[in-house]
Amino acid sequence: MYRFIESIKLKEGLFCNLEYHQKRVNESLRKYYPGAEINLFQISIPRAFVNGLFKTRIVYSDIIHQIDFIPYKIRSINKLQIIESNDVDYSFKYQNRETLDEIFSKRGLCDDVIISKFGMITDTSYSNIVLYDEKNYYTPKNPLLKGTKRQYLIDNHVIKEKEIYVNQIKEYSKIYLINSMINLGDVELMITNENICY
C-alpha cells in the first residue's frame, strides 16, 4: 500500500494554498487509488491550533490515516552540498523518504543538499529551488516534486521554469528555497564557493 504525505501551512487558523494541495492529492489518488476521494476542505482545525504557525501533516492512502498539527519554525540554511543521484524518483509526495534521507546523509558539513539528476538541478531534500540572476527568478524545469508553492508562483508569473545545469549555477547570484511552509525570500543564500559545495 502506498502512503503519501501532504504538508499544509496553517497560519492563524487558516490553511494556505489549499486548492493546490487538493489538486496534488487528487493526482495521487487518480494514479494509485482510482475512485477514492479525500476532501481537504472538510478538515476541521482544533481550537488549540487557531493561533500561530503550524505545519499540518496529513498521512493518507485511499483514506486519511493521520493528521498532525506541528508548531513550525524555518530552519537555518547557510550551506548546500551538490549531490548527483540519477535514480531518485519522488514525483509524488510519498511517505517513504528513504532515498531522499540517504542523499541528505551525504551533505557532510553542509545544512542540506542540492540534488542533481543527469547534470541538472532538481530540488533540495525538502524544498524546491529558485535561482535569481539579478533580473528574473527561475526554477528547475524538472524538479523531483512539483511543489504547491512552486506551482502557485509559476501560475502567478513570479518565477519561470528553465532547465538549469549544475555548471550553470554560478551564472546566478542568489538561490532561494521554497515549499508549502516557506515563502520566496524566507530562505536565501548568496551563490558563492563557500555556500555551494561541489
Q: What pLDDT digit, counting tens, does each position of 40-87 carry? A: 999 999 999 999 999 999 999 999 999 999 999 999 999 999 999 999
Query: In which band, very low, low, confident or very high, does the pLDDT at 1 lie, cut at 50, 70 and 90?
Result: confident
Would you identify the CATH topology of the domain 80-197? D-amino Acid Aminotransferase; Chain A, domain 2 (3.20.10)
Q: Which CATH architecture has domain 4-71?
A: 2-Layer Sandwich (3.30)
Q: Can you give the pTM of this predicted structure? A: 0.95
Ranges of beta strands (E only) in the chain are: 4-11, 14-15, 53-60, 64-71, 80-84, 112-117, 120-124, 128-132, 137-140, 160-162, 174-179, 182-190, 196-197
The yes-or-no answer to whether 4-71 and 80-197 have a common fold is: no
Domain ranges of the chain: 4-71, 80-197
Residue 35 has pLDDT above 90, yes or no: yes
Residue 6's nearest CA partner among 95, 123, 89, 70 is 95
pLDDT at 116: 98
Cα 58 to Cα 41: distance, rounded to the nearest angstrom: 13
% of the chain residues with pLDDT over 70: 100
